[in-house]
Amino acid sequence: MANLHSPNISRATPLHPRRIGIIVGASSGIGAALARQLANEGYTLALLARRKDLLESLCEQINRDSGEARACFYIHDVADYGKVPDLLRRIVSDLGGLDLFIYNAGVSRPAGFKKYDFEKDRATTEVNYLAALAWLNPVAEMFLNLKTGQIVGISSVAGERGRVGNPSYNASKAALTCYLEALRNRLTRFGVHVLTVKPGFVATDMLKGAKKTFLVATPEKVAADIARAIRRHRQEIYTPGIWRWIMLVVRNIPSVIFRRMTF
């Protein structure tokens, strides 16, 4: 079983209701910012990632700031697909329920313009897409039976075109976006909401060393946008919002031009 640090989180009562959320990929970047944002809004959270020290300090910070135990963490490597269903059961049993599930784990391992590296591509696909399936399937089944719940998948604007720089990243995010859409189509009729988030460039670890970035947003700004979309039960958002229009253009660049671009 996963390494667990669960402070004594009390359960909801009619006058002290609690919404319960899980964030997979919560140790840094958008995930950590989202954890702080949602805890601020009163959520009780289970934070999952591989890096214990980061999760530990994040939980401590959240619990200190909110003055009560609102966050706990579980050490988890998303590539351990087989462990997911039991871990999910465990978390739901520890926290007493589940209202919101956020899949935020993602990696970008560009191989280089003229290089091909299957191992890197596999790692990207595993974290960004396969592990998402490993989590989203049991979560969907859970919410389907409960006839309520919210699922959030952090995809990317990168999933809208296959670019020269990072094919497997583009493909994994395209797959995730498509899967989330299918999930939404399956689950809406059962009262379950699915939100697809497409961030543009965000100042996180992933962007370190990346070239040609612009309009870089802070993780806090993105987290605030996502939290608002969760409250409003939105289906799909671009964050920052300007990316909706940028991607409208990018999507419509004819292949004859797109093929020649180095972007």
Partner 1 sequence: MTALLFEKLRSLDNFGHSLHAPSYVYQPVSTEQIQNLLQAARKGDISITLRGAGRSYNDAALNGGGVVLDLSRLNRILEWDPVTGLVRAEPGVTLQQLWQQVLPDGWWPPVVSGTMYTTLGGCMGMNIHGKNNYKAGTIGEHVTALTALLPTGAEVTCTPRENGDLFHSMIGGLGMLGVFTSITLQMKRMYSGLLDVRAWPVKSLSEQLAALYEGAPDYDYIVGWLDATARGSSLGRGQIHAASYLHEGDDPDPHRTLQVEYQTLPATMFGIIPKSIIHYFMAPFMNNPGTWAVNTAKYIASLRRSTYRQSHAAFHFLLDYVPDWELGYGKNGLIQYQSFLPKETALDAWTEMLTLSHQRGLPSYLGVTKRHRPDPFLLTHAVDGYSLALDFKVTTRDRTRLAHMLQEFDEIVLQAGGRFYFAKNSETQPETARHFLGDDTIDRFRRLKKRCDPQNILRSDLYRRVFQV
- Bridge-based pairing of strands 20-24 and 4-5 is unpaired
Of the candidates 43, 103, 169, 238, the residue annotated as catalytic is 169
Q: What is the closest distance, in whole angstroms, from the C-beta atom of residue 6 to partner 1 in the complex?
A: 12
CB closer to partner 1 out of 85 and 110: 85
Taking alpha carbons only, the member of 55, 3, 2, 60 closest to residue 28 is 55
235 binds partner 1 (CB under 8 A): no
- Would you give the binding string for partner 1 spanning residues 112-131, x where CB under 8 A is met? --------------------
- The region of 11-19, 58-66, 201-209, 222-230 touching partner 1 under the rule CB under 8 A is 11-19
Tokens found for residue 219: 């993780």
What is the rounded CA–CA span in Å between residue 131 and residue 125? 8
Q: What is the closest distance, in whole angstroms, from the C-beta atom of residue 236 to partner 1 in the complex?
A: 26
What is the rounded CA–CA span in Å between residue 185 and residue 113? 37
94 binds partner 1 (CB under 8 A): yes
10 binds partner 1 (CB under 8 A): yes
Instruction: Tell me how far apart the 2 most distant CA atoms of the chain are, in Å.
Output: 61
CB closer to partner 1 out of 17 and 67: 17
Number of residues that bind partner 1 (CB under 8 A): 27
Active site residue 103: no
- SS3 category, 71: strand
CB closer to partner 1 out of 70 and 120: 70
> Which CB contacts under 8 angstroms, 24+ apart, belong to 121-127?
121/167, 121/168, 124/168, 124/169, 124/172, 125/168, 125/171, 125/172, 126/78, 126/79, 127/78, 127/79
- The region of 13-21, 58-66, 67-75, 160-168 touching partner 1 under the rule CB under 8 A is 13-21
Q: What is the closest distance, in whole angstroms, from the C-beta atom of residue 140 to partner 1 in the complex?
A: 9
Tokens found for residue 148: 């309520």
Considering only residues 141 through 170, tell me which ones interact with partner 1, judged by CB under 8 A: 141-142, 145-148
CB closer to partner 1 out of 16 and 51: 16
CB closer to partner 1 out of 135 and 238: 135
13 binds partner 1 (CB under 8 A): yes
97 binds partner 1 (CB under 8 A): yes
What is the rounded CA–CA span in Å between residue 11 and residue 97? 9
93 binds partner 1 (CB under 8 A): yes
Q: What is the closest distance, in whole angstroms, from the C-beta atom of residue 14 to partner 1 in the complex?
A: 4
For residue 165, with 0-12 CB atoms within 10 Å meaning exposed, 13-18 middle and 19 or more buried, which class applies? middle
Instruction: Count Cβ neighbours within 10 Å for each residue of 49-80 and write b for 16 or more, e otherwise.
Output: beeeebbeebbeebbeebeeebbbbbbbebee
Where along the sequence are the contacts to partner 1 (CB under 8 A)?
8, 10-17, 85-86, 89-90, 92-98, 138, 141-142, 145-148
Just list the catalytic residues. 169
